[in-house]
Amino acid sequence: MAWYEGAFFYQIFPDRFFRAGPPGRPAPAGPLEPWEAPPTLRGFKGGTLWGVAEKLSYLLDLGVEALYLNPIFLSTANHRYHTADYLQVDPLLGGNEALKHLLEKAHAHGIRVVLDGVFNHTGRAFFAFQHLLENGEQSPYRDWYYVKGFPLNPYGKNPNYEAWWGNPELPKLRVETQEVREYLLFVAEHWVRFGADGWRLDVPNEIPDPEFWRAFRRRVKGANPEAYLVGEIWEEAEAWLQGDIFDGVMNYPLARAVLGFVGGEALDRELAARSGLGRVEPLQALAFSHRLEDLFGRYPWAAVLAQMNLLTSHDTPRLLSLLRGDVARARLALSLLFLLPGNPTVYYGEEVGMEGGPDPENRGGMVWEEGRWRGELREAVRRMARLRQAHPELRTAPYRRVYAQDRHLAFTRGPYLAVVNASDRPFRQDLPLHGVFPRGGEALDLLSGARAKLQGGRLLGPELPPFALALWQEV
C-alpha cells in the first residue's frame, strides 16, 4: 500500500502560516501586511518555510501525515503562481535552505511534503519571457510562448500572447516545444531528487497533451517510485486516473457532495457559486450516498484511495463561511472526511474555525491565539485522525451503504459501521444491519464509548445528537 493512500493531508499557503527565520536568525524583513489585517491581493504577510518547520509540533499533535504546500518558488505574487524561477525557492520564504530544513525535519517525524507545480504558465519575470521581451523575434526563446505579434505588450489589458484566462501576468508556456518539455521535466525530477515527496499539478487540463503527463510521471516516479502525483481537476477525472498519469486528483465533486449533505439548507449556495465550487445543492442521505457510490465506482480502487478528499482550499471560501458560521455542521463535515475512502485533506485554519469568502478573504494569516480557536473543530479533527491511525481498515476498506433515509446515513468500512446524523434533531440508532456484525451481542461506539445491542438483525443504540456521527465495532 502506498504511503499516500489514506494519508491525512494538511494544505498550507506558505505566506500566511507562520513568520520565522532560521534558528537564531530573524525572518526576512521588509514592509509586510499586518498578520491580523484582512488579506489583500498584493500584500505579503511574511510566512516562511522556516515557520512551517517551527510549527511541525502543532501539525504532529493534530495527526497530520503529509503537507501540501502552495507554490514556493521565486515569484512576484504572494500566492506564487507567477513563477519567476523554478529552481529557486523564494527568498521571502527562506530560499532553498529553508526547504531543505523543512524536508529534513518533516521526514524525521514521518511527515511527507508535496509541492505545487505550476507548469501551464509562468510569470512575466521568468527568464525566457524576459529574454523574449528584450529581444523580440531574435530571441532563441520565441517558441517557448504563444506569441501573436512583436513587440510584446505585457502590461496592457490585451496581451498579444496567450495568457492564462487572458491575464497578462501569466504568459502561457508552449509545452509542445521540445525545449520547454525537457525543461519542465527536469524541474519535476530535480525537486523530487531534492527530497520532495511528490507534486500537486496546477490546471493540468490546460496542458491537454496526455503524452506530456505520462512522461512527467515516468520522470518523477523514476526519481522516486513512491512520489505522489495529484492533479487539480475540478470535475470527474476518469481519463487522468488510469494509472498512467496521476495517482489521484483534488476531489471537488466529493467536496460538493459532503457540503450538500451536511450543509443542507443552511449552506450559503450563493457564496459557493461565486467560487470554483460552483453549484452545490442540498442532498438527502440517499442522494448523497448515490453520489459517493458513483465517485467511488468511476476509478480503479487504488485511485479512489489516493484521492485528495477536501472540503475547501485556497480557491474556495472557507468552510465556516460556507456553512454560515454553523460550528456543529462544520465539525460533522470535517469528521466525515476521515470515514470515507481517500486522503482527508484540511486547508490550514479550518480546524480552528477561520472564516473568509472568496480570494483573497480565504487566505488570511493563520490564527495562533488559542483563545480565538473553535476548539471543538480542532479536537474533532485530532480525534478522527487518531482513530484512523489506530484502525487501518478505515484507510483501505470499501464503502457500503447500509441505511439512508432523510438526513440519516449508515455505511460500513470493513468491520466498522458508521452512522451519520446530518439533521438538527436527535436520531434513535435503531437500524437494520443487513449482515453487518453477524455474531450478535454488543457493539462499541469508538467515538463516544457508548454501547449498543445487536439483536434481531438490528443495531439498537442510543440517540445520536444532531450533526454527529458514531463508529460502531462489534465487541
Give the pLDDT of residue 452.
97
Rounded CA gap, 331 and 380, in Å?
A: 7
Q: Which of 5, 116, 202, 474 is the catalytic position?
A: 202
Residues of the chain with CATH 3.20.20.80: 9-120+175-395
The CATH architecture of the domain made up of 9-120+175-395 is: Alpha-Beta Barrel (3.20)
User: Which residue in this structure is represented by grid cell 437500524?
Assistant: 431
Give backbone dihedrals phi and psi of 310, rounded to 5 degrees, phi first: -130, 165
Going residue by residue through the chain (475 aa), what tens digit of pLDDT does each one get? 999 999 999 999 999 999 999 988 887 777 899 999 999 999 999 999 999 999 999 999 999 999 999 999 999 999 999 999 999 999 999 999 999 999 999 999 999 999 999 999 999 999 999 999 999 999 999 999 999 999 999 998 899 999 999 999 999 999 999 999 999 999 999 999 999 999 999 999 999 899 999 999 999 999 999 999 999 999 999 999 999 999 999 999 999 999 999 999 999 999 999 888 999 999 999 999 999 999 999 999 999 999 999 999 999 999 999 999 999 999 999 999 999 999 999 999 999 999 999 999 999 999 999 999 999 999 999 999 999 999 999 999 999 999 999 999 999 999 999 999 999 999 999 999 999 998 889 999 999 999 999 999 999 999 999 999 999 999 9
Q: Say which amino acid occupies 8.
A: F
Residue intervals in the chain for CATH 2.60.40.1180: 397-474
- pLDDT for 27 equals 79
Amino acid, res. 41: L
Helices assigned H by DSSP within 224-326: 252-258, 269-273, 285-298, 301-305, 319-322
Residue 345 DSSP label: E
What's the rounded Cα separation, in Å, for the pair 93 and 69? Answer: 12
Is 331 strand, coil or helix? helix
Determine the Cα–Cα distance for residues 238 and 259; give it in Å rounded to an integer.
23
Cell readout for 284 is 438527502
Decide if 379 is catalytic: no
CATH architecture of 397-474: Sandwich (2.60)
Are 44 and 391 in contact by the 8 Å Cβ rule? The answer is no
Which is catalytic among the residues 15, 33, 232, 315? 232
Helix axes 210-223, 178-194, angle to 10 degrees: 30
Give me the phi and psi of 335, to 5 degrees please: -65, -40
Give whole-number Cα distances, 295 to 6, 50, 301, 342, in Å.
16, 38, 11, 11
Residues 6+ apart with CB under 8 A from 134: none
Residue 202 is among the residues annotated as catalytic for this protein: yes
| Residue 204: predicted pLDDT | 98
Rounded Cα–Cα distance for residues 247 and 241 (Å): 6
State the pTM of this model: 0.98
pLDDT of residue 26: 82
Which is it for the CA torsion 290, 295, 300, 305, positive or negative? Answer: negative
What does the pLDDT read at residue 209? Answer: 94
DSSP for 1-53 reads --TTTT--EEEE-GGGT----STTSPPPPS----TTSPP-SS------HHHHH
Strands 458-464 and 468-474: unpaired
Contact 422, 363 (CB under 8 A): no
